[in-house]
Amino acid sequence: MSDVLLEVSDLVVYHGQLCAVDDVSFRIQEGEIFAIIGANGAGKSTLLRSIAGLHKLTRGNVSFKGRDLKGIAPHRRVELGMSLVPEGRRLFASLTLEENLQVGAAGGKKGTFTLEKIYELFDWMPARRRQYAWQFSGGEQQAIALGRGLLTNPDLLMVDELSLGLAPIVIERIYALIPEIVAHGVSVLIVEQDVSQGVAVANHVHCLLEGRTSLSGRPEELTAEQIERAYFGAGQSPVSGTHP
Amino acid sequence: MIWLNILVEGALIGGFYALFACGLSLMFGVMKVINLAHGDLAVVAAYIAVFLVPHLHVPEVLSFLVVVPVFGLIGYLVQRTLIQKSIDRDPFTTLLVTFGLSVVIENLLLEGYSANAQTVNIGSLGYNSWHPGSIFYLSYVSLVVLASSVVILGALQLFLSKTSLGRQIRAVSDDQEAAQLSGTNYRHIFGVAAAIAFATVALAGIAYGMTTQFSPTSGGVNLLFAFEAVVIGGIGSLWGTLVGGISLGIAQQLGAHFNPQYPTLFGNILFLIVLAVRPQGLFGKKTALL
């Protein structure tokens, strides 16, 4: 039994009047790939942003490596070893590729991931390191954002909507990197609308529906129907498309 | 020859405007705060140079050696306390707070040092000049101020583009939240930006006091010119601010050539033309700040 890296217990988060995350609990073990899936508006991003410290918790606890994160600023959480690759990449537009990576390297910890290591992982980067962030395609930007996150040398890498707006072939290529990242001792928490990707790569799937946990378990123990029901809500049977 | 004179005089004044304005531009670029007390800070620096620094047995001409670092420190502290608190409330609060600061500073100066005009006494340097041509007289002070402005803007540009701290400043300016997620303490970065702004405006204030007379209320009009220089050059571009300052200076000198009452008018006309034709400023970009 490995150690618990992140523990979220009874978490409630409000967006003004709206309850975005409603009583959600889960644990992530070291070395795990944990996928949170759910439809648009299920509260996935709010959940991640709350863990990263960008949102105030209404109730509940988040603890990381056994330490309660209450009152700890986002940049301090990065130093503790968690990194969030935000939805929509959010690269620094006026900085070059290399400068974007260097900002990541300046924050967080020192460790296995160095600029050279990232350039090894993404071999197309060195040749284009002086180009500005906005000059890259969506997939390339996602890779740069991943690199920036990895350079903080996190123990837990959280990725919000990894595949959003990317071409299928690009998504496949980026997902192929995840096992390699885990091999470096990083646990990964991914949030996805695209169920098939999430389920295929993860050791544990946690499904949110309207802010609540609707299903949680190991992917091999879950049937496609269970996931479908948890994703869309009971009683509905959508035509097809996103089911695994 | 008269036209050349206008250009040169304009450029000399423009260098001062740029030095004065770069901190305003930096604070706006990084933390979206328009510091309405910016001009008054310059005046305070000049008053300190005249009234307090001589007590330390430092000659007034070297007063910037003391005042500039002290202002940098004050800038950091004021940002981390007063200004950060108002940013945390909402953007409008920062306008009220800095405006309030401006009023308080002006009144304290009036109370303490009266409305009499002052100058920073720099001895013979103040009226010596260099005249390379028949009708050309270039005051040494103005030349030194222009040269220092160029050097300081260059150093600042280098700092922002080459150092790790500078990169973080630009990152925070681009996307504060993403910078936090990359492990950057944005409040510290705000403090550093404010320190630079306070230090440069202190230097500008002392330079102002060396070239002309100042009184407790001199801050306002200079703040206006600084705004114009920043907007003409393009918000967030340091070299743009220099070009903006020089353009403004030349426009004002041109106005003065036609009528001694026209300098501000001509400057404002240039400002309005730029706003109408190129609202992002001469060097402004839409995607990038700094």
CA distance readout (Å), B198 to A113, B67, B149: 38, 10, 15
Q: Give the residue-averaged pLDDT of A62-84.
A: 95
A50 at the B interface (CB within 8 A)? no
A135 at the B interface (CB within 8 A)? no
Q: Which residue, A141, A151, A59, is CA-closest to A101? A: A151
DSSP letters for chain A: -PPEEEEEEEEEEEETTEEEEEEEEEEEETT-EEEEEE-TTSSHHHHHHHHHTSS--SEEEEEETTEE-TT--HHHHHHHTEEEE-TT----TTSBHHHHHHHHHHSS--SS--HHHHHHHSTTTGGGTTSBGGGS-HHHHHHHHHHHHHTT--SEEEEESTTTT--HHHHHHHHHTHHHHHHTT-EEEEEES-HHHHHHH-SEEEEEETTEEEEEE-GGGS-HHHHHHHHH-TT----SSS--
pTM of the model: 0.89
HSE-up of residue B248 (Cα within 13 Å, Cβ side): 34
Kindly determine whether residue A93 and residue B170, on different chains, have CB atoms separated by under 8 Å. Answer: no
Look up the CATH number of domain B2-289: 1.10.3470
Please, which residues have CB within 8 angstroms of residue A147's CB and are 6 or more apart in sequence? A101, A104, A118, A121, A122, A125
Q: How far apart are CA B252 and CA A233, in angstroms?
A: 69
Position A233 scores a pLDDT of: 80
Structure tokens at B144: 């030194």
Question: B30 to chain A, minimum CA–CA distance in Å?
Answer: 13
Q: Which residue of B has its CA nearest to A78?
A: B183
CA distance readout (Å), A44 to A21, A39, A68, A87, B283: 8, 9, 21, 11, 41
Q: Which residue of B has its CA nearest to A151?
A: B182
- pLDDT at residue A117 is higher than 60: yes
Number of residues in chain B: 290
Kindly determine whether residue A92 and residue B164, on different chains, have CB atoms separated by under 8 Å. Answer: no
Q: What is the DSSP code (8-state) at residue B81?
A: I
Q: Which of A78, A84, A102 sits opposite B167 (nearest CB)?
A: A102
Please report how the helices B238-258 and B140-162 are oriented relative to each other, as an axis angle in degrees rounded to 10: 160
Q: Which residue, B70, B94, B91, B99, is CA-closest to B82? A: B94
Question: A136 to chain B, minimum CA–CA distance in Å?
Answer: 14
Strand order in the sheet with A4-15: A18-29, A4-15, A59-64, A67-68
Structure tokens at A106: 């300046």
Task: Classify A26 in phi/psi space as left (phi over 0), alpha (psi -120 to 50) or beta.
Answer: beta
Q: How far apart are CA B15 and CA B28, in angstroms?
A: 20
Q: Which residue of B has its CA nearest to A87?
A: B178
Q: Which of B171, B173, B183 sits opposite A78 (nearest CB)?
A: B183
Q: How far apart are CA B217 and CA B258, in angstroms?
A: 27
Q: How far apart are CA A108 and CA B181, in angstroms?
A: 9
Kindly determine whether residue A74 and residue B175, on different chains, have CB atoms separated by under 8 Å. Answer: no
The pLDDT profile of chain B, 290 residues, written as one tens digit per residue, is 788 888 998 999 999 999 999 999 999 989 989 999 999 999 999 999 999 988 888 888 888 999 999 999 999 999 999 999 999 998 889 999 999 999 999 999 999 999 898 888 887 777 777 777 666 777 888 888 899 999 999 999 999 999 999 999 999 999 999 999 999 999 999 999 999 999 999 999 999 999 889 999 999 888 999 999 999 998 878 889 999 999 999 999 999 999 999 999 999 999 999 999 998 888 876 544 44
pLDDT (tens digit per residue) in A182-239: 999 999 999 988 888 888 889 999 999 988 988 898 988 888 888 888 888 865 544 4
A154 at the B interface (CB within 8 A)? no
- Widest CA span of chain A, in angstroms? 53
Could you tell me the residue ranges of all domains in chain B?
2-289
Question: B187 to chain A, minimum CA–CA distance in Å?
Answer: 10
Do B211 and B16 contact (CB within 8 A), yes or no? yes
Do B18 and B241 contact (CB within 8 A), yes or no? yes
B164 at the A interface (CB within 8 A)? yes
Kindly determine whether residue A92 and residue B186, on different chains, have CB atoms separated by under 8 Å. Answer: no
Best residue in B181, B192, B285 for a mutation probing chain A (most A CBs within 10 Å) = B181
Position A162 scores a pLDDT of: 87
Size of interface A-B (CB pairs under 8 A): 88
B66 CB burial (10 A radius; 0-12, 13-18, 19+) = middle
